[in-house]
Amino acid sequence: MRSYNTFANRGRDFEDFVIQVNDLYTRSGKAVVYKVPTEFLPIRDSTGQIKSCKVEHKSCVDFLGRYNSIPVAVETKQTHTGRIDFDAVQPHQAAFLDAWTTDKAVGMILVSFGLRRFFAVPWPFWRAARNTWAAQKGTAKKKRAPPTVTAYGQTWTPPPMASAAPEDFLPAWEVNLGGRTGLPYLETIEKLEGVLE
């Protein structure tokens, strides 16, 4: 895996790993999930040579595809600390996942804690925690604990803060390294009631 040191590419090593995992899923025939490219606009100097570039359109999420016959959208997030912020999902990504996620289409946040522990968090759970803390950001009011969330036959009470540690997630969401793909994160979908029916 390559290592990228710029702020913009701080999660790139994890994305590269997921690209490799998705290639193995494709070879197995169980899934087809591809990286969504970011559109860049070249910046040229007076001679017409490209000197730089800027993002023209923000990508919806990192990966789109299908697992068996289920449409799936995956946003990857990596932290090198012991916690991941719920607002790591940007507003345009949240809007896309809101529109994407239905009874038959799964949106998820795939989280890496230092490339050591991994969690595939279904979007309805992440959204509930993110929305609670976004609504309270900058207010002087006493912070309220997030409400308990039920989706796909699972119930979760987010931690009473704007971020989560590995211990805060449901054990069913943890993805262990190994298996045919190296990181069988899409198998988390099989634990979601109502999606495979």
pLDDT tens for each residue of 78-109: 999 999 999 999 999 999 999 999 888 999 99
The 10s digit of each residue's pLDDT in 113-143 is 999 999 999 999 999 998 887 766 655 555 6
Cα separation values, 154 from 20, 135, 169, Å: 29, 24, 12
Share of the chain above pLDDT 70, in %: 77
Architecture of domain 12-124+162-191: 3-Layer(aba) Sandwich (3.40)
Token look-up 């946003």 returns 75
Q: So what's the pLDDT on residue 169?
A: 97
Question: Encoding tokens for residue 67?
Answer: 């697992």
What is the pTM for the complete model shown? 0.82
20-32: average pLDDT: 95
Q: Evaluate if residue 45 carries a pLDDT over 90.
A: no
